[in-house]
Structure 1
Amino acid sequence: MHVARARWGVVLAATSVVAVSGCSGGGTDSGAEPGNGTGEITVWAHQGQPAEVDVLQQTIDDCNASQEDVQATLQLIPEADYMRTVTTTDPDELPDVLEYDGPMMASLAYAQKLAPVGDLVSAETLENQTDSVLAQNTYPADGEVYGISQYDSSLGIYGNKALLDAAGVSYPQGLEDAWTAEEFEAALQTLAAADPDQKVLDIKENYGAEWPTFGFLPIVYSAGEQVVEDGVAQGNLNSAPVVEAVERFAGLRQYIDPNTDDKAFVDGRVPLSWVGHWVYNTYDEALGEDLVVLPLPDFGAGPKSGQGSWAWGVNPATENGAAAGALLDCLASDEAVSGMTDANAAPPGTTSVTAESELYQEGGPLELFARQLELTCGDGEPTPDCVAVPRPVTPAYPVISQQFSEAFFGAYDGGDAQELLDSAAELIDLDYQDNDNYGS
């Protein structure tokens, strides 16, 4: 599936250039003018799934109708163009409220395109945010929260119970008995022996955009390493445990379905699919009671998962920060969060909705994802006791994403993992050096 992987590299490279070039001077001390808390405000959002768009527009309409002080106008931008548009637009031309992709928070804050929201939203809104979304939306350099999330994300392996049972493959019941890397490979071998083409795993090779980093960076953390530590990738991203884990994953390629039609799992061609929460509704409809949700394999330091998704922020250039904050309060309400997460099956970004969610509450079909997020590693070093790891919260993230993606799939395509990761680490470190370590 070379076309998809080439497309991944192009998208990430373009994003990294505009994001870093937008950081002239840098700094995260730019707060929004509060204004009088009334009037008209503008809102930008990505045009996601139709169900998400419908819920968002209804939520904005409901927020407007619920009071007379603040009236918000929503503008949707196609998802493929959205972050490029934000990163290439001057702050004075950005809206009062803007949606952003979670891992881009630090880059946007450094470029003074996001303002701290701690003084703009209610204390109740902040207190109700889950620990995992707070980890995503907090800039370590100043400890300020720069966004509010309606939902989070999580990763796992979906399994087709009927096909697993038919092949005699036992599978994990939870985090405590997650497959080791060796057990995962053995399961694939057993499944392949009973499969005509021996392709038994889908890793969404057909995906683009942010998927390569989000989907496979957890392998680095599960190997017991970080991508960067104190602004340095050398000795971390290219360490021996990471190289070994990447080589081990690359060795599984013989079992992976290219999935060019995105139907490998729902059509029953493969019994396992390495992907996130967002496919649950589709997979559940296709498999029903045969659908099981498993943790990612343990590459030595415990199973790990990605986390972080779209969030809402305030433009530092707005003159009506209080009104913008009031809209964020409304977007974080139980009604708004429930509506959105019912539409997209995402883990709720608030503790109150998580507790009541049919999907994510204890005993729900996606309880595993909720538990992974409860065990977030936050902004600390990943340990065997935590599971969900935010993508690196740094203005260097666009470069990290590009370099990791290219190195990982270069190795997957048969390249030398050590050489590829060495090169990636060198270029990431050069970016930090070129930007004075981003002021940290």
Structure 2
Amino acid sequence: MSFPVAEEAIQNTTEEVEDIVDPWNVASTSDKGVDYDKLIRRFGSSKISPELIARIESIIKKPVHYFIRRGIFFSHRDLELILNAYEQKKPFFLYTGRGPSSEAMHLGHLIPFIMTKWLQDVFDVPLVIQMTDDEKFLWKDITIEDANRYAYENAKDIIACGFDPTKTFIFSDFDFMAQCPNFYRNICRIQKSVTFNQVKGIFGFTESDCIGKIAFPAIQAAPSVSSSFPFIFGEKLKQEFACLIPCAIDQDPYFRMTRDVAPRLNFPKPALMHSTFFPALQGAKSKMAASDTNSAIFLTDTPKQVKDKVNKHAFSGGKETIEEHRAKGGDCDVDVSYQYLRYFMEDDERLEQIRQDYSSGKLLTGELKKILIEVLQGLVAKHQERRKEITLDVVRQFMTPRQLNFRY
């Protein structure tokens, strides 16, 4: 995949790129998964450094989320500018999204929303969540009606993460396009500023791709512009608000494009925080996928399904025999059960003890899987309980265009 020559273009190097990372495909040849240091160099982003973490903690007066501490959110673009705005009491907002391709979301889909909720809580800022049902209709073999229905079902799972209804607006592209002319106007402004050659270079489109795919990137770009939401920020904005986008790094191409055209349109460049990929049960060579039920733990899974999937499919970093494992220990870098605990076990001390015990051979693979099963069963069960409270009326409240509360 190549990128256009522009301010944020990626420079050619002689370094061989083995990993495939784009908005629709993630694959690695390594059992440890994507080489994120190499990906940072390839995409031209910046690592979230210990110094930046220390600055965040000094501003918010509390420890950062363990996703940041553990390097799960590992890369950024212009996060310093967002921190500057917060210190200067200037407004900014959050934007993230979900492509609804099925009724049920899986654990990997929760990662950006867990991070986004934490950011909303600590910075006390408004949030917009885009449901790209139009994208899924264009890329998947599903009807418009099904894609739109999935958007509403997925919204229930997102709301169950605990977002503040006074500060959160969720919208379906299919529904919102007709409700807000400003949104479509900004889409057109962005579309007019990007050539076919540029979008082909960024996303790898070919002559056989439908024109809907070629036009779509501007739709994902437009929510990063505050004037797309006049009912939230006011009809007569004196200036655009800054935007911070927490997302998996495979979505970065959309916003490299956005950041390139923003200055020409007098829009601020959106800032980003990038997460790593949540690995498939079969290992980190690919990310968890809704299209493969055996690769994923779904938020609708029963306790028995969680247990069976982990026991049967979770890739092990252990040795072939108990004797060899006791002698040499397991490899936490490739063991999926340990990697999942990094995402969902908040207790740093317990996680570190598990790492030491597994690496030394004291803890066996079956014992590690048992720990993970208990953690995931509890997490999924709690989510299902919260989701039961989310009715269609609640979803409609979140999806009603309205002014949101924000500090400044």
Where relative contact order (Cα < 8 A, 6+ residues apart) is larger, the structure is: 1
TM-score normalised according to structure 2 size? 0.25
